[in-house]
């Protein structure tokens, strides 16, 4: 059953990749690069259930890899609020909502990895799924 789901998701992703915007293609490349590195590889099932895996070090390492590559976090792990705001603006037109999301979601946690996971989960909770659809 799991193999069927994986094959199906690969087929769907393959079909979707033909219609992805440049930004989405960049995100796919970032995801693939993070997955290709054994230090940041994580099972996709864990990514689809971030809230259940918030303390999983592999999930944290992967999400930090993506977050840094996209520019949401700087190389030292600190949040880059300017970039976060710019990226949210790509999918959210309401300036007040953008500001609220930055305030609520761009929050430094105990580690850069937990910061990354929480940022993605918070944005996803508010319907900003742009950052991790892959």
Give me the pLDDT at residue 82, please. Answer: 96
Q: 21-132 is classed in which CATH architecture?
A: Orthogonal Bundle (1.10)
Residue reference for tokens 């909770």: 125
Total count of residues recorded for the chain: 134
Please say whether the beta carbons of 120 and 30 come within 8 A: no
**Sign of the C-alpha dihedral, residues 6, 19, 50, 113?**
positive
Q: What is the pLDDT along the chain (134 residues), one digit of tens a residue?
A: 444 433 434 444 444 444 557 777 888 899 899 999 999 999 989 988 888 998 999 999 999 999 999 999 999 999 999 999 998 998 899 999 999 999 999 999 999 999 999 999 999 888 887 555 43
Quick check: helix, strand or coil at residue 73? strand
Q: What are the sequence ranges of the domains in the chain? A: 21-132
């Amino acid at each position: 059953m799991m193999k069927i789901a994986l094959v199906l998701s690969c087929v769907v992703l393959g079909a979707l990749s033909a219609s992805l915007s440049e930004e989405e293609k960049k995100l796919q490349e970032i995801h693939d690069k993070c997955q290709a590195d054994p230090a940041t590889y994580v099972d996709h099932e864990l990514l689809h259930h971030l809230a259940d895996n918030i303390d999983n070090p592999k999930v944290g390492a992967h999400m930090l890899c993506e977050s840094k590559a996209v520019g949401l976090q700087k190389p030292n792990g600190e949040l880059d609020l300017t970039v976060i705001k710019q990226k949210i603006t790509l999918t959210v037109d309401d300036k007040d909502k953008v500001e609220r999301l930055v305030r609520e979601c761009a929050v430094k946690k105990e580690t850069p990895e937990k910061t990354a996971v929480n940022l993605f989960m918070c944005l996803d909770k508010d319907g900003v799924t742009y950052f991790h659809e892959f």
